[in-house]
Chain A
């Protein structure tokens, strides 16, 4: 049967993504009239119930927005509140925060590469299915993931919703000896990370290119994770920076009827955050080992193909392990586990790089430190528009080249969405695919 007419396709609930969402696609002939990523994750109202809480509470509370990237929430919250209170955290504590964050990048990326994304490239439904033919590869992925979790468990107390993070630093910092077993584990993980780069470099990548500006933190000396200045790389190659406090002036959120997430735009244009944006903006600051991984992966300086984001994730895993090892090698226990963060009235902004993209927090405090206003802008809410554009482009191209069945189109769309590692719980709100060939 032919599908040249108009049709509507629905994907009820997207699999291998974090959170709950659906997709609605309306196709007329060979063009896509409408592509909506419908996020039906129920709203949880974090920004509302944060009001009235003490300034010490948002790191623990906002961690619960997302079980996959709780550290990102804790770090953006700490940064924002420390900014409001005019406090700067000592260098050794900042290093420990960066190492904790590396743990989350390793865990989250290994999860996405092996358990969520690789099955698409290797024609399986899941990693468990993949393990029937490539058990050693899946075991490697799980080992890598465990190495990330080992950092989180040591520095954070546990892998999901770590308990050891507080304003100003940590409740407790590790003794020198405690890091030694971790160091050995990470050295083995570094080999697994290299083999991962080799594995993903062998995947077949459909040819496509995103048409969105990139937004990522940048830092003069390092690949920005927990600290940096927001930088924009436009599609025309123009680059600029803005202050973290100017984030609300540049990135505006709007609500759309099909989603419980708020969509956002950067200076009125589509933008994308996450691995592709970070690599394009900060790729020069990667460590020598990670630069080698870039060459091994066959990446250029800027990559706009979302299918190839898996290559950047693999490079970032190499980098995060390298960074964690560097921090361990230079580690001297800080004199105090945290600096004091006495409350004062004011507004603070905190931006860090969650594994799936830039995460902004803003809090306003009264003189006693009570939160009077809170704003969270998660990466998936920022990426939703670019993901929808990406779907239109990929589907139209497929329609131009052949005559796909509804089932083939559905599979293609789900894959295109997974490229972006969307975190739908984060957007506070997931996917149900409808393809409308009306």
Chain B
């Protein structure tokens, strides 16, 4: 049997999610023995053309060229997994979706005419079929290894969609909202990070995006009670997964 091929691609993003693969210091060389890394520009100048067995895509679609590229990547990939908040929800750069992108371009660049971008930053799944979306800003290393292992073994990844609250309970962290009145998005945020923020005494800021069936309507009054005004709540929900939380607020 031939060795499966792994490809890593990047669209608009910070490189943090593909760096997570290089951050698997204990597993990286073992993994490289199990798969052939056929395309991973951040780590290797050797590039082999597709088709690929598993493609990991980081980043959101923000330019006409990337919208085309992601279709080519899909056509070459047996399984396509998107990694991180940019690829699964549009990322922080999706804040333009709520603003005027031409005004944004003028604010940053003296010559906006050199810049060719789309008015929105969108998840890869808005453009092509995606086999699995791994959440997080950034993704979690152990979850990434689980997803890769699952696809190599031909099974479904075991990534639960419950909220960060479950992870806090499992970790034995005292609830920051109940005990200290700290505003926290944990009840509506997808688990996966290991509930780090509450363990460090701060409220969850939602970097993994909404959990399965989040009850935002019940949470917002608690955020108000704990001292956040409407603008502060809007800012909290509009950071790294803004379009995804926005959809939940409107649903």
Residue numbers of A with Cβ under 8 A of B are 13-20, 41-49, 51, 53-54, 57, 60-61, 64-68, 70, 111, 115-116, 119, 125-129, 131, 135, 138-139, 142-143, 145-146, 149, 157-161, 163-164, 166, 170-172, 254-255, 257, 260, 262, 337, 414, 425
Contact = CB atoms under 8 A, between A and B. Distances in A.
B6 to A, nearest CB: 11
Contact of A161 (B26, B137, B200): B137
Contact of A64 (B32, B37, B66, B137): B137
A427 to B, nearest CB: 12
Interface of B: 10-20, 22-23, 25-26, 28-29, 32, 37, 40-47, 62-63, 66, 91-93, 95-96, 99, 101, 103-105, 107-111, 114-115, 117, 137-138, 193, 196-197, 199-202, 205, 207, 232, 235, 239-240
Contacts of B93: 42, 44-45
Contact of B16 (A44, A127, A160): A160
Contact of A45 (B23, B46, B105): B105
B22 A111 contact: yes
Contacts, number: 181
Contacts of A262: 109
With most chain A CB atoms within 10 A of its CB, the pick from B23, B115, B137, B197 is B23
Given A68-B19, A160-B20, 18 more contacts: A13-B41, A20-B10, A20-B41, A45-B104, A51-B107, A57-B235, A67-B13, A115-B22, A127-B43, A128-B37, A142-B29, A149-B23, A157-B199, A158-B196, A160-B138, A257-B111, A260-B115, A425-B13
With most chain B CB atoms within 10 A of its CB, the pick from A48, A57, A126 is A48
A15 B25 contact: no
Given A48-B108, A67-B17, A138 B115 contact: no
Contacts of A425: 13-15
A135 B115 CA distance: 44
A393 to B, nearest CB: 22
A15 B41 contact: yes
Contacts of A18: 15, 42
Contacts of B92: 44, 46, 49, 61, 64
Contacts of A47: 107-108
A257 B196 contact: no
A15 B15 CA distance: 13
Closest 10 pairs (CB-CB, A-B): A67-B16, A126-B44, A15-B45, A125-B46, A48-B104, A49-B95, A142-B25, A44-B93, A67-B14, A42-B12
B200 A131 contact: no
A425 B44 CA distance: 17
A421 to B, nearest CB: 12
A40 to B, nearest CB: 8
A23 B14 CA distance: 21
A45 B100 CA distance: 11
Given A64-B137, A64-B240, A160-B138, A257 B114 contact: yes
